[in-house]
Amino acid sequence: MDISRRDLLKLSAIVGGSGLVSKWGFDLKPAYAASQQLKISNAKEFKTVCPYCAVGCGAIAYVHGSGGLNTVNSITHIEGDPDSPVNGGTLCPKGAAQMQLAQSPRLEESPLYRPAGSSEWEKVDWDWAMNWFARKFKDSRDATFVEKDTEGRTVNRCEGIGWVGSATVANEDAYLITKTMRSLGLVYVDHQARI
Ligand code: SF4
């Protein structure tokens, strides 16, 4: 049966005003009832913790999909966990957008590299990026490492590299990154969330 847009609009009007029986005789009550359900009504709830900062707000992720071969689990909604003593169901704007960490269409899946002088970003693989990074880091540290200050005091610090942490790393990652950078002599260590 072909249903034109005009027919569909008529159908909507009929549904709204005639006891949910279409002009073709269908019982539309089940479809109407389904349309009134919340989008999370058939989802599974998973308690989780916002990964963005050390406040550690509790959150509930609603996941659709059975996990079977023919379905793909997907998060349909994330909200603050009202049982959490930390945030009592609230989330800050960043935490409220945390489902984008899992399934934003804008997520990059590989490192991007922009050569000096270029205006274009190029996709590179992780091995290439890590090798490039390690080489640059070593060269910069060697070139800018200061063993003694102008007063002759031993300082053993690297003044040529700054490290800015990300609010999307977990607390444990942030701890390890800070320890690593300090052990390499970096003094300019900061965090994106403070800027
Ligand atoms: S919701 Fe906001 S305040 Fe709470 S942990 Fe996430 S980023 Fe931090």
User: Can you give the pLDDT at residue 170?
Assistant: 73
Domain count, the chain: 3
**Residues 180 and 124 occupy one common structural domain:** yes
Between CA 150 and CA 154 the distance in angstroms is 10
User: What's the token pair of residue 101?
Assistant: 């960490």
User: Can you give the pLDDT at residue 171?
Assistant: 76
User: Can you give the pLDDT at residue 23?
Assistant: 65
Tens digit of each residue's pLDDT (9 = 90 or more) over 117-172: 999 999 999 999 999 999 999 999 999 999 999 999 999 999 999 999 877 777 78
**Residues 91 and 157 occupy one common structural domain:** no
- Give the residue numbers spanning the domain of 88: 44-103
Residue 92: CB within 6 Å of ligand 1?
yes
User: Can you give the pLDDT at residue 21?
Assistant: 65
Report H helices in the chain: 5-17, 29-35, 93-96, 100-103, 126-144, 171-183
Percent of the chain with pLDDT over 90: 50
pTM of the model: 0.59
- For residues 105 and 89, the model is more confident at 89
User: Can you give the pLDDT at residue 20?
Assistant: 61
User: Can you give the pLDDT at residue 34?
Assistant: 72
Residue 63: CB within 6 Å of ligand 1?
no
- Say if residue 51's pLDDT is above 90: no
Report H helices in 18-170: 29-35, 93-96, 100-103, 126-144
- Ligand 1, closest atom to CA 95? 1
**Residues 69 and 122 occupy one common structural domain:** no
**Residues 119 and 93 occupy one common structural domain:** no
7 — phi, psi (to 5°)?
-60, -40
**Residues 124 and 188 occupy one common structural domain:** yes
Residue 94: CB within 6 Å of ligand 1?
yes
- Say if residue 44's pLDDT is above 80: yes
**Residues 122 and 160 occupy one common structural domain:** yes
**Residues 13 and 69 occupy one common structural domain:** no
- Say if residue 13's pLDDT is above 60: no
**Looking at residue 68, which CATH number applies to its domain?**
3.30.200.210
User: Can you give the pLDDT at residue 189?
Assistant: 93
- Say if residue 76's pLDDT is above 60: yes
User: Can you give the pLDDT at residue 73?
Assistant: 81
Residue 82: CB within 6 Å of ligand 1?
no
Residue 78: CB within 6 Å of ligand 1?
no
Between CA 167 and CA 160 the distance in angstroms is 23
**Residues 98 and 133 occupy one common structural domain:** no
**Residues 96 and 131 occupy one common structural domain:** no
**Residues 27 and 57 occupy one common structural domain:** no
Please tell me the distance between residue 177's alpha carbon and the centre of ligand 1 in angstroms.
20
User: Can you give the pLDDT at residue 59?
Assistant: 96
Q: Is the dihedral of CA 29, 35, 37, 41 positive or negative?
A: positive
Between CA 71 and CA 74 the distance in angstroms is 9
**Residues 179 and 118 occupy one common structural domain:** yes
Mean of all residue pLDDT scores within the chain: 85
**Residues 98 and 122 occupy one common structural domain:** no
- For residues 14 and 97, the model is more confident at 97
Please tell me the distance between residue 167's alpha carbon and the centre of ligand 1 in angstroms.
10
